[in-house]
Amino acid sequence: MKNLVYYLNKPGGTFTATEEEIGHPGPGEIRVRTLRSSVCQSDVVIYRQGLSRIKAWPAVLLHEAACMVDAVGQGVTAFQSGDLVALGCDIPCGDAHCIYCGDHGTGEWTSCPNTQATGHEFPGFARKYAILPDWFVRLGPIVKFDDPVTADEACHLEPLACCLEGMTRVINCIENRIVVLVGAGSQSTYALQCALAMGARKVIMINRGKERLERVMKDFEDPRLVGLLWTEDVVENVMEECKPFNEPHFVMINASAEAAYMLGARVMGYGSVLDAHAGVKGASGRPRIEHTIDMNNDIHYRLQCYQATHGSGMRGIRLAQQMLAGKRLPRIHRMTYDNERFHHSQIFSAINRASDNNSLKIIINWED
């Protein structure tokens, strides 16, 4: 059968629609048909400047996808034709004996030095059909959804899983606590919805741009949600909003900038957990960001916790599956306006819209 694949010839280049033959899944494999793919800021960066992990061009981008199982290979019992599934980005290295990715591994794929990622080493979902290898089907990252979860909702699984990895690594850091989110992009918007669903006392969102902050505050209005512009007195304003506490309990950095990391460290206090969620990197590599920590007076006597999460394994994916299936994020559809929905023939326009400062989550429809 024919498969439609969009290849990007080079960073900053052109997407070309190509028809290719695709066969039937082999033993342990499944063939999926893409229904929706959403655009991550990583896709914007890859389009603009490339990625060292992509060794060969042309490349197939997009790693946030909801699909329908189209056919299953011999021996597959966990999935059947017609299942709605969603996929993670970080995937096992394929070595059955790997201590992280293998059959008896920890499942912490992002710690594996040979880990793969959809849209990087593994072709992305800028294509109509894909065959998933047996180890992908057996180990993940893939989960299925029953009604009434829609394809639009399911395509949020991957970024939501990444967010939940950071918010749940330390137990009891969200419920009845003060949460600070640096940045008002899609990851912070997922985080604020999760924090509210998890019973946060207050969520404080900080952003430089007024337009996107106002959009999030309007669409996700809640008595526990506070928006602060990133001004010179933002630290003092955060501390004021934390009262009667002296500082926030959980800080998530969702802005890929050195200034965001420095701001996050400045609002740390007694018992604070900081999740360095958005890494900083550019065409020249990853810059060094230094912050001095007193291991005794900060870490021990102030009970501070510094952590970092990027990507997700099956733990985060299953948490995201539960959130979506349980309808615990009832306003998630507000992350995508009508002008943030595109047909698959408009991939360039979709990525261009995702780069706008006021956009949140771009969804590409693969159903003709």
| pLDDT for position 175 | 97
Contact 286, 319 (CB under 8 A): no
Tell me the pLDDT band of 174, cut-offs 50, 70 and 90.
very high
Share of the chain above pLDDT 90, in %: 84
Q: Kindly provide the residue ranges of all beta strands, DSSP E only, lying in 73-191, ordered along the sequence.
A: 84-87, 90-91, 116-117, 129-132, 142-145, 178-182
The tokens describing 67, both together, are: 């699909």
Asked whether residue 80 carries a pLDDT value surpassing 80, the answer given is yes
Where residue 12 falls (left for φ over 0; alpha for ψ -120 to 50; beta otherwise) is left
Q: How many CA atoms lie within 13 A of 221 on its CB side?
A: 4
And the tokens for 308?
Answer: 């970092």
Whether CATH 3.40.50.720 fits 170-308: yes
From the centroid of its chain, how far is CA 203?
19
Q: Which secondary structure element, helix H or strand E, spans residue 278, and what is its range?
A: none
| 2-160+312-365 classified as CATH 3.90.180.10 | yes
Per-residue pLDDT, 116: 87
Over 80: is that where the pLDDT of 282 sits? no
CA 187 to chain centre: 7
How far does CA 334 lie from the centroid of its chain?
A: 17
53, pLDDT greater than 90: no
Give the number of other CB atoms < 10 A from CB of residue 293. 12
Q: Residue 208's pLDDT is what?
A: 95
Domain chopping of the chain, boundaries: 2-160+312-365, 170-308
- Residues 6 or more apart whose Cβ sits within 8 Å of residue 82: 68, 69
Q: What is the pLDDT of residue 110?
A: 87
What single DSSP character describes residue 107?
S
Using one digit for the tens of pLDDT, what is the confidence trace for 223-268?
999 999 999 999 999 999 999 999 999 999 999 999 999 999 999 9
Mean pLDDT, residues 110-114 taken together: 90
For 363, residues 6+ apart whose C-beta sits below 8 A from its C-beta are 36, 37, 38, 39, 152, 155, 336, 340, 341, 342
pTM of the model: 0.95
Q: Check residue 283 and give its pLDDT.
A: 63
What is the rounded distance in angstroms from the CA atom of residue 15 to the CA atom of residue 274? 39
pLDDT of residue 204: 98
